[in-house]
């Protein structure tokens, strides 16, 4: 049981990949992990589109870049971005981060991932987002266990304006939606763990806000 916790704790969101092909056998294992996820009524609403075509990935990357660029430009002009980065004292690094966010380049790596598995879901079930999100998480953990890196990139589908374009690009029919494009490849970076809230900060007992009685 410690092994699975170790896999969870060492997983990172990987945004830079080696230009090395990911064998089909490994992708099959990743999707097998998704297939065994829990779902309401055992509806199994997930469907997976494996995208290797460079043109399709490039188009998704463009949609993602534009979406993120709009969103972060808005965040910059309201001052919320500056507030979010208040802790970063290195002004040069801060300016670089702002530029990357405002240009949307933060999401453009989707085009460079060797493979993107687009997690879709059938809509005529009761628990679409929960089911599909659990499948995505299973797949991320499996990929990490196999030595692969992943990152969920919602930028091409979070906004309706972009979602429509991506659905058309991948020929996703009515009655289905895209939940999570998942970039996959061999990691070409090893990011440090991001800060985590402590259990004391997030756990209550019996009712929200109630701390453990000592």
Partner 1 sequence: MKESSYFQDIVSALEKALYYERGRGGYFRATMVGTDFIDREPIKGETSEEVIESCVNVLVENKKIKKATSMKDDSGTFFTFEIEGCVHLPVEARLKEEGVPPFVCPPVNMILYKIRELAHLAVEIADISVSHEQGRCAVRVVIFKQK
Which residues contact partner 1 by CB under 8 A? Answer: 66, 69-71, 73-75, 77-78, 103-104, 129, 158-161
β pairing state of 115-122 and 149-152: unpaired
Nearer to partner 1, 1 or 160 (CB): 160
Asked if 184 and 143 touch (Cβ cutoff 8 Å), the reply is: yes
Asked if 184 and 148 touch (Cβ cutoff 8 Å), the reply is: yes
State in angstroms the smallest separation of the CB of 110 from partner 1. 17
36 secondary structure, DSSP code: T
Nearer to partner 1, 40 or 129 (CB): 129
Of the candidates 160, 153, 178, the one whose C-alpha atom is nearest the C-alpha of residue 61 is 153
Angle CA 153–155–157, to nearest 5: 100
Nearer to partner 1, 151 or 163 (CB): 163
Phi, psi of 81 (to 5 degrees): -65, -45
Residue 95 CB coordination number (10 Å): 10
CA distance 194 to 180: 21
Nearer to partner 1, 27 or 66 (CB): 66
Nearer to partner 1, 130 or 186 (CB): 130
CA distance 160 to 120: 15
Nearer to partner 1, 71 or 144 (CB): 71
Residue 14, classed as helix, strand or coil, is coil
CA distance 180 to 163: 11
């Amino acid at each position: 049981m410690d092994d699975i916790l170790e896999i969870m704790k060492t997983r990172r969101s990987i945004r830079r990949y080696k230009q090395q092909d990911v064998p089909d056998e490994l992708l099959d294992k990743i999707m097998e992990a998704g297939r065994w996820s829990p779902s309401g009524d055992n509806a199994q609403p997930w469907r997976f589109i494996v995208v290797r075509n460079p043109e399709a990935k490039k188009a998704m990357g463009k949609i993602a870049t534009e979406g993120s660029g709009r969103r972060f430009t808005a965040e910059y002009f309201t001052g919320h971005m500056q507030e979010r980065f208040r802790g970063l004292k290195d002004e040069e690094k801060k300016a670089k981060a702002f530029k990357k966010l405002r240009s949307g380049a933060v999401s453009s790596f989707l085009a460079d991932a060797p493979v993107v598995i687009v997690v879709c879901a059938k809509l005529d079930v009761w628990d679409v987002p929960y089911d599909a999100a659990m499948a995505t998480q299973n797949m991320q953990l499996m990929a990490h266990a196999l030595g692969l890196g992943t990152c969920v990139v919602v930028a091409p589908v979070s906004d309706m304006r972009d979602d429509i374009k991506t659905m058309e690009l991948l020929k996703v029919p009515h009655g289905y939606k895209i939940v999570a494009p998942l970039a996959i490849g061999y990691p070409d970076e090893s990011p440090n763990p991001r800060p985590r809230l402590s259990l004391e900060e997030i756990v209550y007992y019996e009712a929200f806000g109630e701390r453990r009685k000592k």
